[in-house]
Amino acid sequence: MKKREGKHIMWDRPDFTTIKTYQEFSQYYWYRAELADICKRLGKEHSGVKKELEAQIKQYFAGNVAQKKVRLKTKKEKDVELTLDTPLLSCGFAFNIRFREFFAQQTGVSPFKFTADMAAAWRKVKAEKDVEFTLRDMIAIYQGQSSYAQYDTSSCQWNQFVKDFCADTSNASFQPKLKVAAILWQKVKESNDPKVYSSQLVKRYESEISDYRREKV
């Protein structure tokens, strides 16, 4: 297996086109941007968080290679009068000025800002074709009164974990750093410990990452 040099990483990982199974694919770490690019090349939906993109790729390996469908908004949808009971799927919903103004009027919050949980809810509505989910339900999401969907914070936690790992000068001898950080992150994910980096993790799992230490010249 050839060593593949990427923008931020450099360790053994095959090109996606040579991977035969999802199990093999899941053994390697992929950036969200890489996952989105793969989904785009496969003709699948390439927006959303990492878990959603990985699910698209899992479907691909399972044999579901259907092209994504592009749905155009009709004039009727654009002209629908917005009320609290208007279903999202029948009004051409989007995170734009029209709906920002509607939510600002309904909540009294101005300027109104969409939240990550609202984006997660919208993705779920589309994925499940939930015709009963209304603008009222979306406001409940905004106000934290509904657990219909929540933003997956794991990617943010991972980014902070890597940043803190690399900032720790005691890890200077590790190469490649991202590979080591990924090993430690996997350990943290599988435990009940806080999803944050600490130098104690390096000591705890020294036996599993020692091969990545490089002696200073």
pLDDT at 67 over 80: no
pLDDT at 215 over 90: no
Check residues 39 and 87 and name the one with the higher pLDDT.
Answer: 87
**pTM (2 decimals)?**
0.48
Angle between helices 32-41 and 50-61 (to 10 degrees): 40
pLDDT at 217 over 80: no
pLDDT at 3 over 70: no
Q: What is the pLDDT of residue 12?
A: 64
User: What region, left, alpha or beta, does residue 55 occupy, with left being phi > 0 and alpha being psi -120 to 50 degrees?
Assistant: alpha
Going by C-alpha positions, the residue among 155, 205, 156 that lies closest to residue 180 is: 205
| pLDDT band at 60; cut points 50, 70, 90 | confident
Phi then psi dihedrals of residue 215, to 5 deg: -65, 140
Pairwise CA distance, residues 180 & 94, whole Å: 40
pLDDT in tens, 117-135: 999 999 999 989 999 999 9
pLDDT at 85 over 60: yes
